[in-house]
Chains A and B, each alone.
Chain A
Amino acid sequence: MRVEPKAVEEVARELYVRALKILPPDVKEGFARLAATESDATAKRVLGTMITNIRVAEETENLLCQDTGIPIYNVVIGRGVEIGGTELKNAIRRGCERATREYPLRSSVVHPITRRNEQTSCGPGIPPIHIDFSDEPETLVIEMVPKGSGSENNSWLRMAIPAEGIDAIKTFVVDCVLDAGGKTCPPTIVGVGVGGTSDLCVALAKRAATRPLGTACEDPEGAKLERELSEAVNMLGVGPQGLGGDSTAFAVHVEVAATHITMNPVAVNMQCHSARRASAAITPAGVEYGF
């Protein structure tokens, strides 16, 4: 299946706007679950306002949140998909720029030293485009995640050592949630990376934070850890917006990678309650949008 760069560009443009407007069903269900069990009166009101906002965004076809985030694209190339690697990346970048200019979206991206905003949501190394491969025949999947800065500014890495054991990982996650308080726009999805190298550990945390709610870590030990941590962080009482309550996190998600005999790295990356993402599958039948 030959995929034209123009088609990829259109999909990349559409995905950015869709992601900013429509919250995935698993996140809406997460809200319903929290609202049903929350015991704090202020927290109930806060959750109620967030749920109202989701409805208003859909009714007025407006963006859920003003923060258009750092645009991230995750691409999975199936078997028999023909497109040049460079033209694929360029097409995604053009689509991202066009979404910003044509909608128009707030460009939230600046040069890190000059702080100059090109008003395109793009810049050196941005958008990050992650490319992976699958055995799915004739299928190109593009996922778009606009990652808000309130949550992204609360990201941590700790290179713990083996003698500190799993306790170091658990303690670190709890302390990160305490440190974040209301700054991450809770309720959050707390993404935890365990193992790997330093950079892989942080990437795992991001993957965990942007994973759909209701999914489990494929590694059984990671799945056990995320169940324990999900229950524990909601004992802290940080609550929605850091104003107190039971609903501090929708869930803690864990992703793992093997690591060195001398290492015990842990990273935390958070996703805010506006846990936005959109995806599209390009096949010979056309383009199908989803989450």
Chain B
Amino acid sequence: MTHHVLRPPITEEQVRALRVNDTVTLEGALYGIRDANLIALFDKGRKTRFDMQGQAAIHTAPNVKRVPPSPQHPAGYAPVCVGTTTSARMERFTRPFLAMGARILIGKGGLGKGSLDAFAELGGAYLAIIGGTAALETTWIEAIEDVDLDDLNPESIWKFRVHGFGPLLVAMDSHGASLYDAVQQAASGRRAQTLARLGVK
């Protein structure tokens, strides 16, 4: 179990060095993506002006406050509460998103087989953050630097500047390992025993 500090852009070599149960702290840029903006990009043919090469993205749609643009709030938004949403809904977008050059996805609850294969083939990893701990997560956000596809607000594509973002747990790596698969298999293996305890015949 190794701790890594990553500052995007992240190289393929860096992401392939991550193994499940390692931990990561992210510094610098972090993009916010989720349902509506991924549907816009990959189903509706819309484009983003953000270059995702070597970038990290988190499944999120934050609570924000509109403020006059300033050096502190260059996009005219102040972060109010930034958390993480359930990644499973974004499963089919992992591959095309990595194909844009992104290296890291951060989320909660894990992703499936298609994503795990994409991480292996394209060089990516999934980092687990603790869902529902947004008050804490917000303290790691320095600013909202930019925003794109803002007509989808709050499901815009957000660009955050983060500091000490983590520790995050490497839960799916580029070598075919997934902590979620391991836990799910073990849990399914305990089904019969659990039903027996309940007296189910």
Whole-angstrom CA separation of A103 from B186 in the bound complex: 44
A46 and B184 form a contact (CB under 8 A): no
A62 and B135 form a contact (CB under 8 A): yes
Contact A62 B186, CB 8 Å, known A50-B132, A167-B201, A241-B130: no
B138 at the interface (CB under 8 A from A): yes
Q: Considering only CB atoms, which chain A residue lies closest to B184 in the complex? A: A181
Contact A150 B131, CB 8 Å, known A167-B201, A242-B183: yes
Whole-angstrom CA separation of A182 from B180 in the bound complex: 8
Contact A232 B80, CB 8 Å, known A53-B136, A106-B63, A243-B169: no
State how many angstroms separate the Cβ of A70 from the closest Cβ of chain B: 14
Whole-angstrom CA separation of A244 from B65 in the bound complex: 37
Whole-angstrom CA separation of A62 from B139 in the bound complex: 10
Whole-angstrom CA separation of A170 from B201 in the bound complex: 11
State how many angstroms separate the Cβ of A280 from the closest Cβ of chain B: 23
Residues 79-103 of chain B: 1 if any A CB is under 8 Å from the residue's CB, otherwise 0? 0111111101100000000000000
B132 and A274 form a contact (CB under 8 A): yes
Interface residues of A in 60-84 (CB under 8 A from B): 60, 62-68
A32 at the interface (CB under 8 A from B): no
A57 at the interface (CB under 8 A from B): yes
The residues of B that contact A57 with a CB separation of less than 8 Å are 135
Q: How many A-B residue pairs have CB under 8 A?
A: 175
Number of residues on chain A facing chain B (CB within 8 A): 58
B48 at the interface (CB under 8 A from A): no
State how many angstroms separate the Cβ of A272 from the closest Cβ of chain B: 6
B193 at the interface (CB under 8 A from A): yes
The residues of A that contact B85 with a CB separation of less than 8 Å are 66-67, 149-150
A150 and B109 form a contact (CB under 8 A): yes
Contact A64 B134, CB 8 Å, known A105-B63, A150-B86, A182-B108: yes
The residues of A that contact B193 with a CB separation of less than 8 Å are 235
B134 and A242 form a contact (CB under 8 A): no
Whole-angstrom CA separation of A238 from B199 in the bound complex: 21
Whole-angstrom CA separation of A229 from B194 in the bound complex: 9
Q: Considering only CB atoms, which chain B residue lies closest to A54 in the complex? A: B135
B115 at the interface (CB under 8 A from A): no
The residues of B that contact A127 with a CB separation of less than 8 Å are none
Number of residues on chain B facing chain A (CB within 8 A): 53
B123 at the interface (CB under 8 A from A): no
Residues 133-164 of chain A: 1 if any B CB is under 8 Å from the residue's CB, otherwise 0? 00000000000000011100100000000000
B110 at the interface (CB under 8 A from A): yes
- Selected contact of A236 from candidates B63, B83, B187, CB within 8 Å: B187
The secondary structure that dominates the A interface is loop
Whole-angstrom CA separation of A107 from B153 in the bound complex: 9
B154 and A232 form a contact (CB under 8 A): no
The residues of A that contact B194 with a CB separation of less than 8 Å are 174, 232-233, 235-236
B109 and A242 form a contact (CB under 8 A): yes
Whole-angstrom CA separation of A275 from B63 in the bound complex: 19
The residues of A that contact B183 with a CB separation of less than 8 Å are 181-182, 237-239, 242-244
A53 and B179 form a contact (CB under 8 A): no
The residues of B that contact A175 with a CB separation of less than 8 Å are 191
B136 and A52 form a contact (CB under 8 A): yes
Whole-angstrom CA separation of A64 from B138 in the bound complex: 10
B62 and A236 form a contact (CB under 8 A): no
A178 and B191 form a contact (CB under 8 A): yes
Contact A237 B198, CB 8 Å, known A63-B135, A104-B80: no
Residues 258-291 of chain A: 1 if any B CB is under 8 Å from the residue's CB, otherwise 0? 0000000000000011100000000000000000
23 contacts between A and B (CB under 8 A): A49-B136, A60-B135, A63-B81, A63-B134, A65-B83, A66-B81, A103-B80, A104-B66, A149-B86, A150-B86, A150-B108, A150-B131, A167-B201, A170-B200, A181-B110, A181-B187, A183-B86, A185-B86, A235-B190, A236-B187, A236-B191, A240-B130, A241-B131
Known: A65-B83, A66-B134, A235-B197. 16 other contacts (CB 8 A): A49-B130, A49-B136, A50-B130, A50-B132, A53-B132, A150-B85, A150-B108, A153-B89, A178-B188, A182-B108, A229-B198, A236-B191, A241-B108, A241-B109, A241-B128, A243-B179
A residues with CB within 8 A of B: 42, 46, 49-50, 52-53, 56-57, 60, 62-68, 103-108, 115, 117, 119, 148-150, 153, 167, 170-171, 174-175, 178, 181-185, 228-229, 231-233, 235-244, 272-274
Closest 5 CB pairs of A and B: A66-B83, A57-B135, A53-B133, A63-B81, A182-B109
